[in-house]
């Protein structure tokens, strides 16, 4: 997929399995970044694909994430983040948050909030 900018959709909501996540590239204020887009029912949540613990990507393979009980788990050191707010509730960076990326769902598509 092409890199998304604020006037483009990141993905279709249906591209994400309910309870799952995908990675997409997006142009944000700080430049191009890998963004995790999680789906829970008809809602989408997005975060930079950077763990606050060691600054590494959270995916175990490009675009593949460990998710269990609505927790996104960093593949490197096991930090566990709530999918609805990015709060780390277990692991080496407990109490820290993933960096949120504003998104909205419109007509079945997930868009960057400009």
Indicate whether 2 belongs to any domain.
Answer: no
DSSP string of 69-102, one letter each residue: TTEEE-TTT--EEETTT-BEEESTTTT-B--EE-
Global pTM value: 0.92
Indicate whether 4 belongs to any domain.
Answer: no
Indicate whether 42 belongs to any domain.
Answer: yes
Q: How many CA atoms lie within 13 A of 100 on its CB side?
A: 15
Indicate whether 3 belongs to any domain.
Answer: no
- What is the span of the domain harbouring residue 18? 9-112
For residue 108, pLDDT over 60 is answered with yes
Q: What is the dihedral of CA 6, 21, 19, 11, to 10 degrees?
A: 40
**CATH assignment of the domain containing 72:** 2.102.10.10
| pLDDT tens digits, one per residue of 20-51 | 999 999 988 888 999 999 999 999 999 999 99
| pLDDT tens digits, one per residue of 59-91 | 999 999 999 999 999 999 999 999 999 999 999
Q: How many domains does the chain have?
A: 1
């Amino acid at each position: 997929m092409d890199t998304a900018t604020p006037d483009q959709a990141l993905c279709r909501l249906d591209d994400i399995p309910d309870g799952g996540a995908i990675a997409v590239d997006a142009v944000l204020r700080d430049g191009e970044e890998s963004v995790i887009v999680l789906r829970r029912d008809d809602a989408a949540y997005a975060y930079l694909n950077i763990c606050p613990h060691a600054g590494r990507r959270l995916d175990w393979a490009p675009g593949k994430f460990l998710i269990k009980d609505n927790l996104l788990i960093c593949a490197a050191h096991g930090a566990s983040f709530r999918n609805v707010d990015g709060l780390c509730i277990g692991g080496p960076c407990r109490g820290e948050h993933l960096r949120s990326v504003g998104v909205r769902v419109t007509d079945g598509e997930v868009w960057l909030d400009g």
